[in-house]
Amino acid sequence: MIVIEGCAIATVDAQRTEHADGHIVIDGDRIVAVGAGPAPSEIDASRRIDGRGCLATPGLVNCHHHLYQSATRGLVTDGTLFEWLVALYPVWAHIDERTVAAAARGGLAALATSGCTTSTDHHYVFPRGGGDLLAVEIDAARAIGLRFHPCRGAMDLGQSQGGLPPDSLVEDLDAILAASEEAIDRFHDPAPGARVRIALAPTSPFSVTRELLVESAALARRRGVRLHTHLAETIEEEEFCLGTFGVRPLQYLDDIGWLGEDVWLAHCVHLDDGEARRMGATGTGVAHCPTSNGRLGAGIAPVPRLLEAGAPVGLGVDGAASNEAQELIHEVRAALTVARAARGPRALSARQALELATLHGARCLGREDELGHLSAGALADVALWRLDDLGFAGIADPVAALVLGPPRPVDALLVGGEIVVEGSELRTADAETLASDLARECAAIAERAGL
Ligand SMILES: [Zn+2]
């Protein structure tokens, strides 16, 4: 058993219970008790973590990412989404198992040290002969120690058919469906406490056929896995959908049965009020990626409207090619500041911002029964944030200090009761080795792509 005590606790449980000074008791991979004051002295703990000066929160959940992009950061720094994609597709065509291994480990390490215990990934670039890329990133998540929900992504609408990606990067519909089913067979764990679950994720309306969307939804529902895609990210996408399909992006998905409690959509920047209500009515989740949306100048998602409508709104760092920092706690602050910049100081509270990163993220991934809150019976995924240095001095409210105060790496991170970060340092891998591996693979792909 592990006991954490002496810390403030924001449980994000059903009652939003908070303790100014409390304890958490962990047995195996589950939390068995959370309460005020010190833990009962009769508990025979193998380990006691001194939480004084810290705030404990649920481990953060990252709802959207493209880990391979950690190998292509800092490119097209001033372009729109479509300009950025058209310039980067030919670079991404050169990824292989070594690129993805180094990029995924580096990206997952950045998530861990920024408080993330569960991440998804949306991998949709499968160059011919590029290797077993999904297996490589799942190995990376096991090595770093994070819970992982990778999406088998895909593109099947190349430029010659009116899509945005080059024909050389798109796959055949039947091959995609076979690979999707194989990914579920090999990796998906439906059991409680799962470390790996698969979702299916055709990439975006402008890079996939309607048939792939329809067939992927049928396959996902037959196999009991979730669905994910990008939607309503930019005005250019809206114009593409109106011009190509005659409807706005959300209507396009709605018409083919792609809204529901088993679906979460990245971005949703350009939704009107009626569309936000439709998201809530269908229980469709959103992965809000404020830094990426700002980096690409896409706009600000209507998060307060989506929350009012009852839609789950999780947070995502998005790929590192459009969010070079790729740290999840930054997105908590960014969600608050962009919501308020757009709609005033009461648009999103510090506690709501924390809820997006925890409970709402767990809802997006279908894990709210056991993730996203600190309560007895939940998985022991815990972030411990140190708030007693000069940067936070005198801020009485620990949640306000975490969300509004200066950025810091998480002090300690536990995933399923296992220590991943301690003393603000990754314990599962050597950060210097990860950095040199990533730098080597960045140089290698740059050379292959002729950059
Ligand atoms: Zn994305």
**pLDDT classification of 431: cutoffs 50, 70, 90:** very high
User: What average pLDDT does the segment 162-171 reach?
Assistant: 95
Give the per-residue pLDDT at 161. 96
Count of CB atoms situated within 10 Å of the CB of 419: 15
Q: What is the pLDDT of residues 235-249, one digit of tens each?
A: 999 999 999 999 999
213-268 confidence digits (pLDDT tens)? 999 999 999 999 999 999 999 999 999 999 999 999 999 999 999 999 999 999 99
Q: Distance from the CA of 348 to the center of ligand 1, in angstroms? A: 23
Query: 206 CA distance to ligand 1 centroid (A)?
Result: 13
pLDDT average, residue stretch 428-441: 98
Per DSSP, the three-state class of 421 is strand
Q: How far apart are the CA of 175 and the centre of ligand 1, in A? A: 22
d(CA 7, ligand 1 centre) in Å? 36
Distance 8 CA to ligand 1 centre (A): 34
Our CA angle for 352, 356, 362, nearest 5°, is 135
Distance (angstroms) between ligand 1 centre and the Cα of 414 equals 27
The Å distance, Cα 204 to ligand 1 centre, comes to 9
| Residue 364 confidence class, pLDDT cut points 50, 70, 90 | very high
Ligand 1 center to 304 CA (angstroms): 21
Structure tokens at 428: 């599962």
Residue 87 Cα to ligand 1 midpoint, Å, equals: 16
396 alpha carbon, distance to own chain's centre: 30
Distance 81 CA to ligand 1 centre (A): 10
Percent of the chain with pLDDT over 90: 100
The distance in angstroms from the start CA to the end CA of the chain is 52
Residue 266 CA to ligand 1 centre (angstroms): 7
Residue 74 — left, alpha, or beta (φ > 0 → left; ψ -120 to 50 → alpha)? Answer: left
Alpha-carbon radius of gyration of the chain? 21
**3-state class of 319 per DSSP?**
coil
Alpha helices by DSSP H, listed for 188-209, are: none
The DSSP secondary-structure symbol of 59 reads P
Please state, in angstroms and rounded to a whole number, the distance separating the CA atoms of residues 174 and 164: 20
Average pLDDT of 125-132? 95
Distance 362 CA to ligand 1 centre (A): 18
- In the three-class reduction of DSSP (H, G, I as helix; E, B as strand; rest coil), residue 185 is classed as helix
CA–centroid distance, residue 66 to ligand 1 (Å): 6
144 alpha carbon – ligand 1 mean position (Å): 22
> What is the Å distance from ligand 1's center to 15 Cα?
33
CA of 120 from ligand 1 middle (Å) equals 11
Q: Specify the pLDDT at position 379.
A: 99
Cα 147 to Cα 244: distance, rounded to the nearest angstrom: 38
CA of residue 299 to ligand 1 center, whole Å: 14
**What are the strands, taking DSSP E only, across 28-137?**
30-36, 47-50, 54-58, 60-62, 116-123
pLDDT at 298: 98
Pairing status of strand 147-154 against strand 116-123: parallel
- What is the reported pLDDT for 69? 98
Grade residue 406 by pLDDT with cuts at 50, 70 and 90.
very high
Confidence of residue 3 (pLDDT cuts 50, 70, 90): very high
Q: How many CB atoms lie within 10 A of CB 209?
A: 19
Q: What pLDDT does 365 receive?
A: 98
Q: How far is the CA of 55 from the centre of ligand 1 (A)?
A: 31
